[in-house]
Amino acid sequence: MSNVAVVGSQWGDEGKGKIVDWLSERADVIVRFQGGHNAGHTLVIDGKVYKLSLLPSGVVRGKLSIIGNGVVVDPWALLDEIETVRDQGVDISPDTLKIAENVPLILPLHGSLDRAREDARGNEKIGTTGRGIGPAYEDKVARRAVRLCDLTDPDTLAERVDNLLSHHNALLRGLGAEEIDPGESLEALRGIGDALLPYAAPVWRDLAAAHRAGRKVLFEGAQGFMLDVDHGTYPFVTSSNTLAGQAAAGSGMGVGAVGYVLGITKAYTTRVGSGPFPTEQQNDIGNLLGERGHEFGTVTGRQRRCGWFDAVLVSQSATIGGIHGIALTKLDVLDGIPELQVCIGYHHDGTAYDYFPAGRNIQAGIEPVYETLEGWEESTQGARSWADLPAAAVKYVRRIEELIGVPVALLSTSPEREDTILVRDPFAG
């Protein structure tokens, strides 16, 4: 059996929540390894909707769930989320949820700084959620972060806060924003320790023990490939590595522990926020995809931009991200559209590209080259076998496989967990 890493192959919002939930029933341990509470996963179980941001999806099923050191954690947001999920009847305790003791914390000052910097950018906004994820990652890299383990030592905590604010208050002052009071920040952190520290643990040991015992581990990614800080549409990206390669470093497991990589892939393309989007359809098709697909962010409620499937981007994602198979989601949103377009290349200033270049100016002006495929009138919603799909829908899926060079392992035809066609079990390796 193989451990499985689930990652987004586009700009996030590909439907990872449902697929992770589907897989978590087969897993023993579920791990978040990057991102923060800017990510959102929606699970629908027996008609009940769970909206998660920081909590690994496995908590809903009572599986051991781990927040790894690669995540940045807003402790207040996490505790609110725990209470919300508890109110829905889910039991969460330090036996079922563990947080890496060395995880960096997001403080209120990070959100203030995030929003102040976005305001200062004017028309050049990155499109962040304003929740402080970027500034928290910056502090981690700059070696001034407050980590969960610091809450156990009052002297270390005071030193960390002073060091942090000596940097950030100068920046806030320069932006004309209100400065942060060190005493208030320190008091808030001291007050949160008792509630949060019971979940703290050296999770790398738990994961090593699970691996030795042959237990199946599911690594749950957030965002998507095109938001990766190295490989995405920089600077319109998140502040962490979103690829499966981050699963080992962001959890404390050895690099060989990551087995099968499943890329969650929407049957069309969406993105939230600013940045290039070659196949975006600012027309009736884009509106139709958005309405049918209920394309609003789980965390922010922002409307997603919608467009045709981009096979070039997903192929690049599969190659760089080491994706073994994809879970194709929201195929049913395409029902009834007579002709479907799939991007198979780009043009820019007379030059043809069979990949997505890194240069910002090229990305902004690149034009897609489309291949037209036949649509289908029949409904695919709720299909649970290939035989339930229209022939044209099967052809569409097969053509996507050819273009991206990766097979479909799972095919999702509705938000319900059981409306899934299993082609290959990722845990079988």
Q: Any idea which residues carry the catalytic annotation?
A: 13, 41
Question: What value, to the nearest 5°, has the Cα angle with vertex 381 and ends 378 and 386?
Answer: 75
Distance, CA of 212 to CA of 29 (rounded, Å): 13
Q: How many CB atoms lie within 10 A of CB 312?
A: 23
Separation CA 213–CA 28 (nearest Å): 11
Q: Which two tokens stand for residue 414?
A: 């509705």
Mark 34-63 as b/e (b = at least 16 C-beta within 10 Å): bbbbbbbbbbbeeeeebbbbbbbbbbbbeb
CA atoms within a 13 Å half-sphere pointing along the CA-CB vector of 285: 16
Dihedral, 14, 16, 22, 24 alpha carbons, nearest 10: 170
DSSP annotation of 324: -
Contact (Cβ atoms closer than 8 angstroms) between residue 403 and residue 342? yes
Give the whole-angstrom CA distance, residue 117 versus residue 127. Answer: 11
**What are the Cα distances from residue 252, in Å, to 70, 148, 269, 416?**
9, 16, 32, 33
Best CA proximity match to 317, nearest among 231, 216, 380 = 231
Output the six-digit token pair for 20: 């992770």
Largest Cα–Cα separation, the chain: 67
